[in-house]
């Protein structure tokens, strides 16, 4: 457990404030993007199934195939964006915070 | 360790005999005993028992038992999470759904995947920084231990129970078809092996069983999808063209069908799939097996990649089965074909067998054996993960924290979880047999709905909302749990199909209750918390700052290893 004095010190640390600001803004932003993509897809399925059934060009492959597959791919890409950002910047900040507040 | 060797020897020795005995009593829907499948399955079981033996020697402390000593790497954990998630239901069920309805299968796959990014962005690192063995460690971090542990244990156990019943019944049916074993023998076999893995090897064995199975399943599915695409010159268009030509629904399989017709129902199901993932106790537990928050974050990234890739494969496999299975008399039931004139409806053993027959079509009997063995291994691994999560909840949350007030002797706690595993195993076998002829399809949906309406709201609010109080979490959490269960009972799937009331008489029109049960849970948590003026509430709110700093930085987090 962190004691009260070091808690206040960490909370005042500019590195900590930057970490919290960056992580929560990116985390909530990407969550919102994922929600919009997924529920956009679900609303298309529910209200415009015929749109997803429009063939691409002259073949039988429909718009729905690339749309559905890209939701899967985007889910992976968004996760990748978060992990990349976190690995490059959050971990550096966390290391600094831990070093500065070692008691 | 003598007892263990003895048990495994008996089990290994008895496998072929059981198969022989079962082969002699041919049931109506049973396949002929499949020797190559049994051979490969015995190989898998042998390998996992060796691993369990290895893990058992290295499992001494509670940290070893619950979290594999924190020694799993991000990549390994990614595979293990994927293994926990790629159940037989998603492999055989989704490819079967694609086989019968085409595009609708993809809608389900997408829903099952999109919870993972949310887990990465909002939960994975915080969970690792705050918790030790179970997700209740996180929710009870600054709240009243007793109340929150009881709530979390109820949420976990109910989720695990429904998931487990669905898996056991599915396992029994599947193994009956695949290996020609009797239903009850299959259920006992699954339950028995699961008890061995979990009680002897704990999380270490369960994780490695999961990893091996994930690698086997991913390679098998890759080979199958590759073989299908090879037959069509690696042109998806050619595959789809042939599929729409032979499928009775023709071009309709390329667009959303009747599976999801009511928009509210679609949204409700979407919510359950997305947020249920972030509330499944056996999945959340996996984040405690890695070293730190960084590894936790990486592991979800790998898991999302593996699971997404796997779902794309099942889509190709489903379409491959339409073209190669529904057109080949070898895989069809002649009498049904006579009646319906549809190769899709006439598939031997039902649509869940689409992927299995396809394995035979593209790789012959040997590959059929491989895929059958992998399907069995899949069930075994998922069931073990569930049992471990349930047992941990009983021993760590209920026994260790509630009954012993956090002062339990470590060895006693491990002993309790082993006993709990045995009880859960026997219960799972019993319920598997009781529910043999019931429609259990709704149970996985119910498990997700409960996870999304009880476990997830309490978890996310405890991590992010300063105002959350013990009373708010307990009232809101139980309201979510209750409304999810009531909502499912009153839904068409249970009210009309399982309970047999008149069609259209279901009081709730949604197949999945998540839309209102999640709303009730969040509203209940919020309202009760802001009205809470108790002394405990002040303590709860005051504890937030310290919890938040630790969730962000990991300072003070449970160290990876106990040594």
Q: Tell me what ipTM this predicted complex has.
A: 0.93
**Closest to B150 measured CA to CA, from B481, B421, B539:** B481
As a whole number of angstroms, the distance between CA B355 and CA B94 comes to 9
Question: What percentage of chain B reaches a pLDDT higher than 70?
Answer: 92
Contact call for A10 and B118, based on CB within 8 A: no
Q: pLDDT for B148-200, tens place per residue?
A: 999 999 999 999 999 898 888 888 888 887 777 888 988 999 999 999 999 99
- pLDDT confidence of B263, banded at 50, 70, 90? confident
With CA atoms as reference, the chain B residue closest to A31 would be B118
Query: Per-residue pLDDT for B26 more than 70?
Result: no
Contact call for A46 and B304, based on CB within 8 A: no
Contact call for A64 and B254, based on CB within 8 A: yes
Query: Per-residue pLDDT for B7 more than 50?
Result: no
Query: Per-residue pLDDT for A103 more than 60?
Result: no
**Shortest Cα–Cα distance, B251 to chain A (Å):** 7
Contact call for B267 and A75, based on CB within 8 A: no
Contact B295, A83 (CB under 8 A): no
Longest C-alpha distance within chain B, in Å? Answer: 73
Q: CB-hemisphere CA count at 13 Å for B81?
A: 39
CATH number assigned to the domain covering B30-439? 1.20.1730.10
Rounded mean pLDDT of chain A? 89
**Shortest Cα–Cα distance, B77 to chain A (Å):** 15
- Of A4-18, A70-84, B98-112, give the lowest mean pLDDT range: A4-18
3-class SS letters over B3-37: HHHHHHHHHHHHHHHHHHHHHHCCCCCCCCCCHHH
Q: State residue B13's pLDDT score.
A: 45
Contact call for A72 and B300, based on CB within 8 A: no
Query: Per-residue pLDDT for B140 more than 50?
Result: yes
Answer yes or no: is A2 within a domain.
no
Residue B290, beta-bridge partner list:
B72
As a whole number of angstroms, the distance between CA B524 and CA B508 comes to 21
**Closest to B284 measured CA to CA, from B292, B274, B272, B276:** B276
Helix (H) or strand (E) holding B206: helix B183-231
As a whole number of angstroms, the distance between CA B136 and CA B158 comes to 15
- pLDDT confidence of B18, banded at 50, 70, 90? very low
As a whole number of angstroms, the distance between CA B192 and CA B188 comes to 6
Q: pLDDT for B363-390, tens place per residue?
A: 988 898 899 888 888 888 899 999 999 9
- pLDDT confidence of B260, banded at 50, 70, 90? low
As a whole number of angstroms, the distance between CA B359 and CA B411 comes to 46
As a whole number of angstroms, the distance between CA B94 and CA B89 comes to 7
Q: pLDDT for B418-437, tens place per residue?
A: 999 999 999 999 999 988 87
Of B25 and B134, more confident: B134
- Residues in B touching A25 (Cβ below 8 Å): none
- pLDDT confidence of B261, banded at 50, 70, 90? low
Rounded mean pLDDT of chain B? 87
Query: Per-residue pLDDT for B4 more than 60?
Result: no
**Closest to B308 measured CA to CA, from B86, B77, B73:** B86
Answer yes or no: is A19 within a domain.
yes
Query: Per-residue pLDDT for B350 more than 90?
Result: no
Q: State residue B222's pLDDT score.
A: 97
- Structure token pair of residue B68: 């594999």
Query: Per-residue pLDDT for B6 more than 70?
Result: no
As a whole number of angstroms, the distance between CA B179 and CA B18 comes to 11
**Closest to A91 measured CA to CA, from A102, A80, A79, A99:** A99
Q: pLDDT for B482-491, tens place per residue?
A: 999 999 889 8
Number of domains within chain A: 1
Query: Per-residue pLDDT for B27 more than 80?
Result: no
As a whole number of angstroms, the distance between CA A13 and CA A28 comes to 23
Q: State residue B373's pLDDT score.
A: 86
**Shortest Cα–Cα distance, A103 to chain B (Å):** 11
As a whole number of angstroms, the distance between CA B449 and CA B159 comes to 9
Task: List Cβ neighbours of B36 (8 Å cut-off, separation of 6 or more).
Answer: B365, B366, B368, B369, B370
- Structure token pair of residue B459: 């978890």
Contact A2, A10 (CB under 8 A): yes
Contact B279, B138 (CB under 8 A): no
Neighbours of B172 (CB within 10 A): 26
- pLDDT confidence of A2, banded at 50, 70, 90? low
Task: Specify the pTM.
Answer: 0.90
Contact map slice: B 291-330 vs A, CB within 8 A: 294, 297-298, 300-301, 304-305, 308, 311-312
- Residues in B touching A37 (Cβ below 8 Å): 114
Measured N-to-C along each axis, helices A14-47 and A91-100 cross at an angle, to the nearest 10 degrees, of 150
Check the CA dihedral B264-B270-B271-B276 and report its sign.
positive
Q: For B290, list phi and psi in degrees, rounded to 5.
A: -105, 170
- Structure token pair of residue B183: 């239903």
Contact call for B263 and A43, based on CB within 8 A: yes
Q: pLDDT for B48-72, tens place per residue?
A: 899 999 999 888 888 888 899 888 9
Highest-pLDDT range among A82-96, B80-94, B327-341, B457-471: B457-471
Domain range for A60 is 13-100
**Closest to B386 measured CA to CA, from B353, B427, B352, B355:** B427
Per-domain residue ranges of chain B: 30-439
Residue in B257, B270, B546 nearest the CB of A7: B546
Helix (H) or strand (E) holding A89: none
Reduced DSSP (H G I as helix, E B as strand, rest coil) percent helix, strand, coil of chain B, to 5: 80, 0, 20
Q: For B365, list phi and psi in degrees, rounded to 5.
A: -65, -35
């Amino acid at each position: 457990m962190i004691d009260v004095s070091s808690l206040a010190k960490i909370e005042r640390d500019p590195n900590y404030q930057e970490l919290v600001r960056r992580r929560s803004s990116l985390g909530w932003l990407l969550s919102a993007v994922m929600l919009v993509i997924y529920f956009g897809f679900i609303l298309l399925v529910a209200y415009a199934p015929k749109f997803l059934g429009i063939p691409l060009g002259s073949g039988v492959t429909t718009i729905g195939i690339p749309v559905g597959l890209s939701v899967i791919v985007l889910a992976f890409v968004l996760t990748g964006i978060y992990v990349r950002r976190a690995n490059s910047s959050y971990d550096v900040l966390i290391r600094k915070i831990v070093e500065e507040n070692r008691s | 360790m003598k007892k263990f060797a003895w048990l495994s020897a008996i089990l290994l020795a008895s496998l072929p005999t059981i198969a022989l005995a079962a082969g002699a009593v041919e049931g109506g829907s049973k396949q002929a005993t499949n020797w190559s499948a049994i051979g490969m399955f015995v190989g898998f079981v042998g390998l996992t028992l060796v691993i369990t033996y290895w893990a058992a020697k290295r499992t001494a402390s509670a940290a070893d038992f619950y979290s594999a000593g924190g020694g799993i790497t991000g990549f390994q954990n990614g595979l293990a999470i994927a293994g926990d998630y790629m159940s037989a239901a998603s492999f055989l069920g989704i490819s079967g759904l694609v086989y019968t309805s085409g595009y609708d299968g993809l809608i389900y796959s997408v829903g099952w995947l999109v919870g993972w990014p949310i887990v990465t962005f909002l939960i994975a690192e915080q969970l690792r920084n705050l918790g030790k063995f179970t997700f209740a460690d996180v929710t009870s971090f600054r709240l009243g231990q007793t109340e929150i542990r009881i709530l979390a244990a109820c949420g976990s156990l109910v989720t695990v129970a429904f998931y487990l019943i669905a898996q056991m019944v599915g396992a029994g049916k599947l193994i009956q078809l695949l290996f020609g074993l009797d239903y009850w023998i299959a259920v006992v076999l699954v339950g028995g092996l699961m008890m061995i893995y979990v009680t002897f090897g704990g999380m270490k064995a369960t994780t490695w069983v999961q990893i091996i199975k994930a690698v086997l399943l991913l390679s098998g599915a890759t080979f199958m999808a590759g073989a299908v695409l090879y037959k069509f010159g690696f042109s998806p268009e050619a595959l789809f063209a042939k599929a729409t030509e032979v499928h009775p629904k023709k071009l309709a399989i390329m667009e959303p069908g009747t599976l999801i017709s009511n928009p509210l129902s679609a949204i409700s199901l979407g919510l359950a799939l997305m947020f249920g993932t972030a509330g499944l106790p056996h999945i959340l537990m996996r984040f405690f097996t890695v070293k730190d928050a960084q590894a936790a974050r990486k592991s979800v990234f790998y898991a999302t990649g593996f699971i997404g890739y796997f779902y794309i494969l099942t889509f190709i496999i489903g379409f491959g089965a339409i073209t190669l299975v529904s057109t080949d008399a070898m895989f069809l039931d002649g009498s049904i074909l006579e009646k319906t004139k549809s190769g899709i409806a006439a598939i031997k053993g039902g649509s869940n067998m689409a992927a299995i027959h396809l394995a035979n079509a593209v790789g012959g009997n040997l590959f059929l054996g491989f895929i059958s063995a992998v399907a069995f291994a899949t069930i075994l691994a998922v069931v073990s993960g569930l049992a471990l999560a349930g047992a941990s909840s009983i021993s760590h949350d209920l026994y260790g924290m509630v009954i012993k007030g956090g002062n339990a002797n470590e060895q006693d706690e491990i002993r309790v979880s082993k006993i709990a595993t045995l009880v859960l195993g026997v219960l799972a076998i019993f319920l598997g047999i009781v529910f043999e002829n019931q429609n259990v399809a709704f149970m996985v949906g119910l498990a997700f709905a409960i996870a999304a309406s009880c476990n997830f709201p309490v978890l996310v609010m405890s991590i992010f909302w300063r105002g959350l109080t013990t009373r708010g979490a307990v009232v809101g959490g139980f309201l979510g749990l209750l409304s999810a269960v009531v909502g499912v009972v009153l839904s068409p799937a249970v009210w009309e199909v399982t309970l047999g009331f008149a069609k259209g008489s279901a009081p709730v029109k949604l197949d999945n209750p998540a839309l209102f049960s999640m709303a009730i849970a969040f509203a209940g948590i919020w309202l009760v918390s802001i009205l809470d003026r108790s002394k405990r509430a002040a303590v709860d709110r005051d504890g937030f700052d310290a919890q938040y700093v630790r969730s962000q930085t990991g300072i003070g987090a449970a160290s990876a290893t106990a040594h």
